């Protein structure tokens, strides 16, 4: 009778190596850095020495990302989450918020559960066609420009998946996108500017000042919302524009200008008069409440002391209501 070969008993003492009859089962558990889930790599070996070597190889594979590079396990939704986490610190608060909204509204429910390995160009083309035809509010058509922005998100995330070796190629590279709609931006004429400012002055003098500065400086709404009294030199007739307000998850976020360029703008005499009148109005409000006007207070604020500035979108909504009230067909600032 043939004597059965005894397995090395020391192998049973090594974590992740288990004796199974005449062979050894090797298991390496690791945390998938993409999904946060616990994964396992497994294999078999004939001897305890081979088992030790295999365990070391599996650990190295997991560390180098070979284990993660499995598009059959990772979903589009998981990829989008990790792609956002990787890039969010380099984005403006507005970009972060808009990206999250687009993923939530247009991608998560439609392709979020699809495995990366099964995602094809034809699936994305079908998605874009669906969005174009009925992806808007209440099933209305979605603007082609919005579909292009959705595609930009998908394409960037999938490009990251290629770099992470989750997939071999980016299925978004060969997509067929809808032709962008052509919009003609209609700026207000000088008469319409006067009409807008005069109408605002009747109902909200602060917003009339906002419009006056917008037309006089060409500043963006976020830049106007960021203005403080310390930015003005009314004797010299100038204003320094070096900051902007963006809307973050929890409120306004102060940051640099969109272009990263600071500038000093010379104001005309009429605009200086308007700014002086606005300062007197703010000082009067503070006096009525028994507090001084802070030198660094925001020009445009719902707070008496100017401690918190307007939200940029509230300024736009105000303009839209004013424009519609007057029946004008001009673009928002």
Q: What is the pLDDT of residues 226-263, one digit of tens each?
A: 999 999 999 999 999 999 988 776 677 788 777 778 89
Whether pLDDT at 168 is above 90? no
Domain count along the chain:
3
Same domain, 47 and 104: no
Whether 93 has a pLDDT exceeding 90, the answer reads no
Length of the chain measured in residues:
333
Q: What is the CATH number of the domain that holds 229?
A: 1.10.443.10
Residues 51 and 83 in one domain: no
pLDDT surpassing 60 at residue 13: no
Q: How many CB atoms lie within 10 A of CB 126?
A: 13
Q: Which residues pair with 103 in a beta bridge?
A: none
| Listed range (102-106, 121-125, 199-203) with the worst mean pLDDT | 199-203
pTM here? 0.57
* Cα–Cα nearest to 163, from 68, 295, 261, 297: 68
Section 65-75 average pLDDT: 63
Confirm whether 28 is domain-assigned: yes
Q: Does the pLDDT at position 331 exceed 80?
A: no
Q: Which of 163, 182, 212 is the last residue of a domain?
A: 163
pLDDT at 66 over 50: no
Angle at 22 between CA 20 and CA 24, to 5 degrees: 50
- Residue 244 sits in the same domain as residue 302: yes
The answer to whether residue 156 scores a pLDDT higher than 50 is yes
What pLDDT score does 103 carry?
A: 96
Residue that is last in its domain, among 163, 180, 214? 163
User: Are 198 and 320 contained in the same domain?
Assistant: yes
Torsion angle defined by CA atoms of residues 102, 106, 107 and 111, in that order, rounded to the nearest 10 degrees: 180
Count the alpha carbons within 13 Å of 107 in the hemisphere toward its beta carbon.
26
Which pLDDT score, from 0 to 100, does residue 241 have? Answer: 94
pLDDT recorded at residue 29: 87
pLDDT for 67: 45
- Asked whether the beta carbons of 140 and 134 are under 8 A apart, the reply is yes
In a domain, 170, yes or no: no
Residue 241 belongs to a domain:
yes
Domain membership of residue 182 (yes or no) is: no
The pLDDT confidence band at residue 188, using thresholds 50, 70 and 90, is confident
Residues 151 and 24 in one domain: no
């Amino acid at each position: 009778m043939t004597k059965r070969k005894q397995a090395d008993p020391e192998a049973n003492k090594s974590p992740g190596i288990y004796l199974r009859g005449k062979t050894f089962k090797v298991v390496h558990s690791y945390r998938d850095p993409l999904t946060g889930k616990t994964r396992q790599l497994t294999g078999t070996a004939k001897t305890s020495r081979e088992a030790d070597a295999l365990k070391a190889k599996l650990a190295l594979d997991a560390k180098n990302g070979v284990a993660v590079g499995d598009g059959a396990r990772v979903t589009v939704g998981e990829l989008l989450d990790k792609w956002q986490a990787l890039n969010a610190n380099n984005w403006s608060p507005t970009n972060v918020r808009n990206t999250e909204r687009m993923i939530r509204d247009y991608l998560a429910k439609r392709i979020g559960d699809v495995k990366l390995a099964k995602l094809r160009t034809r699936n994305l083309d079908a998605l874009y066609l669906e969005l174009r035809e009925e992806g808007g509010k209440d099933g209305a058509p979605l603007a082609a420009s919005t579909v292009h922005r959705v595609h930009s998100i998908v394409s960037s995330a999938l490009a990251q998946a290629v770099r992470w070796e989750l997939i071999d190629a980016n299925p978004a590279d060969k997509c067929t996108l809808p032709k962008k709609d052509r919009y003609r931006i209609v700026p207000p004429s000088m008469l319409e500017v006067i009409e807008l400012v005069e109408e605002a002055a009747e109902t909200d003098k602060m917003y009339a000042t906002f419009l006056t500065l917008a037309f006089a400086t060409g500043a963006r709404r976020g830049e106007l919302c960021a203005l403080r009294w310390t930015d003005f030199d009314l004797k010299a007739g100038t204003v320094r524009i070096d900051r902007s307000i963006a809307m973050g998850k929890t409120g306004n976020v102060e940051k640099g200008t969109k272009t990263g360029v600071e500038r000093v703008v010379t104001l005309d005499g009429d605009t200086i008069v308007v700014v002086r009148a606005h300062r007197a109005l703010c000082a009067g409000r503070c006096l009525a409440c028994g507090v001084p006007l802070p030198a660094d207070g925001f020009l445009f604020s719902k707070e008496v002391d100017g401690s918190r500035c307007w939200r940029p979108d509230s300024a736009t909504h105000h303009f839209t209501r004013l424009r519609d009230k007057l029946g004008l067909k001009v673009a928002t600032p």
